[in-house]
Amino acid sequence: MAVREFAERGADLQLVGIQKRFPGFTAIESLDLTIPAGSFFALLGPSGCGKTTTLRLVAGLEEPTEGRILIGGADVTATKAHQRPVNTVFQSYALFPHMTVIENVAFGLRRRRIGDATSRAHEALKLVELDHLAQRRPQQLSGGQQQRVALARAIVNRPALLLLDEPLGALDLKLRRQMQLELKGIQEEVGLTFLHVTHDQEEAMTMADTVAVMNRGAIEQMGAPAELYDLPRTAFVANFLGQSNLLTGEVVGTTPTSIAIDAGGHRVVVPVDRAQVHRGRITVGVRPEKVSLHREAPAEASDRNVLGPGRVIDVSFSGVSTQYLVEVAGIGTLLVFAQNIGIGPVAALGDEVWIGWSVEHGFGLADLAP
Ligand code: ATP
C-alpha cells in the first residue's frame, strides 16, 4: 500500500464560535474546535446531537448562523461547497451503477478536465486495494468493496480534509470492524485530515486520535480515547463511552491526595487529582472491569475501596468474561466484569459477595449522576 506521495498533507480545521439555528430549533449552541492537520478526529454522540449538521457546515452544505470556519488557516465561511478543499464519504455509497469502478473514481477528475485522471484513479484504487476490480460495476462488488470505492473516489482529488458521515453504518459488524482498521491504516498512509462522525463509541475509540463527545449541540469533552474512557468528566460521557458504576454522596473527608464520600453509608475514596469537584455532594465512578468480586470480606487497605456484603442478583456468561450484577444495601446495583481466567464462575446467583477496586481507578464527575 506504499503510495505515500499519493496525497498532499491534510490541513487543519478550525471552527470558531459556530452556532446553527434552524427555524424553531438550535442544532448547534456554540462550537469551538481545532482539528490539527493530519489527525483522525471523531465526533461522537447520540442521534440528533448535531454531528451531521457540524459536518454539513464544514462541507459548505449549510451556512452557520454565527461563527467562522477556517481550513488551513483560510476563512471558508463564505466559500461555496464545491470550492472548498473538502470531500465527504456518506453511509450510502452513491456510486454510479452504469459506470465501472475506475470510471466512478475518475469521474470527478474528468469533469474538471484533469489530464492524468485514469492513472490517478488507479493510484487511489491501489490505496484501498481494489485496483484488480477496476473494470467491475458497483453491483458486482460487496458492501465493503463498494465503500472502499467511495473512499477512493473521495480521496482521488486530494482534499485537504475528508469528512466521513457514518461511512461504515451499512456494513455488518464483522466487516465494519475490519474496515475500521483499514480506514485508520489509509488515513495514516495518506496523512489527510479525517473528520469522522459516528454514534458508535467503539468505532470512534478504535480509529480516532482524538474524540469529541457531543451532546445536545455542544461538545461535552474532548481528548484521546483512553483519556476520555478512563477519566470522563460528566455522567453523559461516562455512560456514553461504556458502562460505569456511579455513586453519589456527600464529601466526608479530604486529604492532600484523596477525597472520601459517604455513599449510602459506605465510604468511597477517589484520588484528589481525578475528582472534578472537591466538596458538597459529588458523584464518583469506576468502570465495571476495574472492579473485583470477593467471596469473603477483603482486608481493609487504604488504597482500595470495598463495598459489601452484597448479593449477586444476575450472572451472565459471555465467553471471555462474566458480567455480575451485585446489589449492595444503601447503594443499589453495581456491575462487575470479570475475566474468565479460571474454570467456572467466581460467584453464583444469590451468593454473598464483596466488591473492591483500587482507589486510583476511580474518577470523579463534574456533575451528579442522573
Ligand atoms: P443522527 O446520528 O441521527 O444523524 P446527528 O447528531 O447527526 O444525528 P443532526 O442531523 O446534526 O444530528 O441534527 C441535529 C438536530 O438538528 C436534530 O434535532 C435535527 O432534528 C435538527 N435538524 C437538522 N436539520 C434540520 C433542519 N433542516 N431543520 C430543522 N431542524 C433540523
The three three-digit cell numbers of residue 63, written as one number: 451556512
> Which atom of ligand 1 lies nearest, measured to the CA of 24?
29
What digits encode the pLDDT tens for the residues 355-368?
999 999 999 999 99
CATH class of 13-230: alpha beta
**ipTM of the predicted assembly exceeds 0.85:** yes
Q: How far is the CA of 47 from the centre of ligand 1 (A)?
A: 8
d(CA 193, CA 214): 20
d(CA 90, CA 294): 48
Q: Is the dihedral of CA 50, 56, 61, 66 positive or negative?
A: positive
Q: How far is the CA of 50 from the centre of ligand 1 (A)?
A: 6
3-state SS track over 295-342: CCCCCCCCCEEEEEEEEEEEEEECCCEEEEEEEECCCEEEEEEEECCC
> Which atom of ligand 1 lies nearest, measured to the CA of 217?
14
* pTM for the whole structure: 0.89
Where do the CATH 3.40.50.300 domains begin and end in the chain? 13-230
Residue from 20, 22, 196 whose mutation best tests the ligand 1 pocket (most atoms within 8 A of CB): 22
CATH class of 235-364: mainly beta
* Single-letter amino acid, residue 316: S
Contact 251, 265 (CB under 8 A): no
Is it the case that residue 7 has pLDDT exceeding 50?
Answer: no
Where do the CATH 2.40.50.140 domains begin and end in the chain? 235-364
What digits encode the pLDDT tens for the residues 149-169?
998 998 888 889 999 998 888
